[in-house]
Amino acid sequence: MSKNENNETNFGYKNVNKTEKPEMVKGVFDSVAENYDLMNDLMSLGIHRLWKRGTIELSNLKQGDSVLDVAGGTGDLSILMSDLVGKSGEIILSDINEKMLKLGKARSLDKNKLNIKTAVADAENLPFPDNRFNCITIGFGIRNVTNKLKALKNFYRCLKPGGRLLVLEFSKPESPLISDLYDFYSFKILPKLGKFFAQDEESYQYLAESIRMHPSQEEFKQMLESVNFKNVSYDIMTAGIVTLHIAEK
């Protein structure tokens, strides 16, 4: 492998320099932030809410726990977890994108979720001490991370012993028929929805491509195990369109 190839990573179907990808991803989410929640509902027909509720049901959270919601964006998971940890608990909603975080903070305050704090933070370089959190979540964010292994090592470091990591991400459907329909929707319909409702076709083309470039369920399971996570498993949702990975420190 050439030195140039070592310095490259994928940005959707394009190869880009690893140092450039974080800003490019940030640019995508700067562009889609204002319409992000609307587009989530449109893209998934509202099913994303069920995926997220299903994730939180497996969090094992209790009153007083501390949670880090990585790439939490507009705060869906954080808001769902707020009542589980209660007033004595704490949730840190983090993202590299300040625009998304601002929306997440406003939403959490509107819903009177006062135990949610926000922090601008990169998944690969989390500014938190070792053994800090009972639970770390990342919903539909890991595929946008440049160095996934580095991020997973950071998650492991920041979790308390016995803490749980929940990674919710799009994946590849198992059925060839559903996979073909999903591809048609992703590349023919989704970008047009982005163009019509968010005036941004290009960003939604990238988001579709980024899903296809994400590791398979088994490959990602192996990545989790390679950084010492234990009891690693995954639950396939909606015929494999989405997968929830669960791991413990």
Q: Over the stretch 56-86, which tens digit does the pLDDT of each residue have?
A: 999 999 999 999 999 999 999 999 999 999 9
Q: Which domains does the chain have, with CATH numbers?
A: 25-173+207-248 (3.40.50.150)
pTM (whole model) above 0.85: yes
Instruction: Reply yes or no on whether the pLDDT at 5 is more than 70.
Output: no
Q: Please, where are the H alpha helices in the chain?
A: 3-6, 21-32, 36-44, 48-57, 76-85, 98-110, 148-158, 176-184, 190-198, 201-213, 217-226
Residue 216 is classified by DSSP as P
Count of other CB atoms within 10 angstroms of residue 95: 27
Q: Over the stretch 133-183, which tens digit does the pLDDT of each residue have?
A: 999 999 999 999 999 999 999 999 999 999 999 999 999 888 999 999 989
CB 128 within 8 A of CB 117: no
Instruction: Reply yes or no on whether the pLDDT at 19 is more than 90.
Output: no
